[in-house]
Amino acid sequence: MRNEDGPRVAIIGGGATGLAAARRFRESDVAATIFEKESVLGGRMATRVIKSEGGAEGVFDSGAQYFFAHTKRFSEMTNYWVERGEAFEWGKGFHTARIGLREDDDPRYAAKRGFEAFAEIVGEGLDVERGREIVRLAPEGEGWTLEDATGETFRAEAAMLTAPVPLATALVDASGWSLPESIRTPLDKIKYDPCIAVLALLERESGVPEPGGVFVSGESVAWIADNKRKGVSPNGEAVTLLASSEFSRTYWDYADEEIAARLMDEAEPWTCNCAEKVEVVRWKYSQPYRFYEEPFAFVAHPAPLAIAGDAFVSPHVEGAVNSGFAAAERLIAQLGG
């Protein structure tokens, strides 16, 4: 048993929702710990680096590509990070394959050094247990006992699940207890589209027009981003291709080589057919398309628990952050923090 006294709140998952919640707890002086199964923070706010034998280094946003800032609190946060130089306005629209540049008055923001580095900056000063895959979350007394994959256990008064909902409910099931039917039924109705990403380090400039993004909406490729034109890959011609949801479902189990060949073939007008290195990334729970109708799910018994994420009311980075804020505030009220 570790952390006998424990944090007041255990947050399972260090993506956008978990980070937002942890910062909100910190504002209220409520001790909270993030348990993240990976060695890095961010979840689908992910970045990869590919190096060539010739010394080029491509930096790829492989999950989230950009974000909006519509709500007051998230807009204030975005302005703060822009002022710090960690985020920037990428543009007010992108090209489409058929129509050309389409712009509006709605800024799209990106992270200066890639989304993963941005997540690490947001996580500065927070209590994070990295490499901690929680495999059991069991009510015990007036709180929760968490067990990781090594068998080590932790205690907390309250818990928050921020992983994609099918993973969150699978953890509940594996832990041998049940959510109320009024909550479990709508949670089980949440659905996600998968997405396959291809990261291509090119030998020369891509054909992606400024500001560095194009909606292809083809049979296989949905989106292409030039990370160098975007501003996150100064030392390498780094292109991210996102497959359509239909392609991603159909080819999910195919070999990386075949997936990359099919997507690169359709993207040839923008990628010059000059990839030096290619990697494939799979996101099983990329984009929710059926949602929970409240910003989070909450139960007070057998112990306080909130479930939150981008499948609650609104998707994308902003929706995930706002869900984290709202869930944290409910737990703070429950704990009397």
Residues of the chain with CATH 3.50.50.60: 1-41+123-189+291-337
For 109, the enclosing helix (H) or strand (E) is: strand 100-111
Q: Rounded to whole angstroms, how far apart are CA atoms 9 and 324?
A: 13
pLDDT score recorded for residue 3: 45
- pLDDT attached to residue 146: 97
DSSP line for 307-328: E-STTBSS-HHHHHHHHHHHHH
Task: Of 312, 314, 289, 296, give the one whose Cα is nearest residue 71.
Answer: 314
The SS3 of residue 334 is: helix
Q: Note the pLDDT of residue 337.
A: 62
Q: What is the mean pLDDT of each run of 10 residues along the chain (337 residues)?
A: 66 98 97 97 97 93 97 96 97 92 94 96 96 97 96 97 98 97 98 98 96 93 98 97 98 98 96 94 97 97 96 95 98 90
At a CB cut-off of 8 Å and minimum separation 6, what does 153 contact? 1, 2, 145, 146, 147
Number of neighbours of residue 301 by Cβ within 10 angstroms: 9
Residue 2 has a pLDDT of: 46
With beta carbons less than 8 A apart as the criterion, state whether 105 and 92 touch.
yes
Please, which residues have CB within 8 angstroms of residue 322's CB and are 6 or more apart in sequence? Answer: 20, 71, 73, 74, 295, 313, 314
Q: What is the CATH number of domain 1-41+123-189+291-337?
A: 3.50.50.60
Domain(s) labelled CATH 3.90.660.10 in the chain stretch across 47-111+191-289
pLDDT score of 38:
97
Strands lying side by side in the sheet with 143-148: 134-140, 143-148, 153-156
Q: Which CATH number fits domain 47-111+191-289: 3.90.550.10, 3.40.50.2300, 3.90.660.10, 3.40.50.620?
A: 3.90.660.10
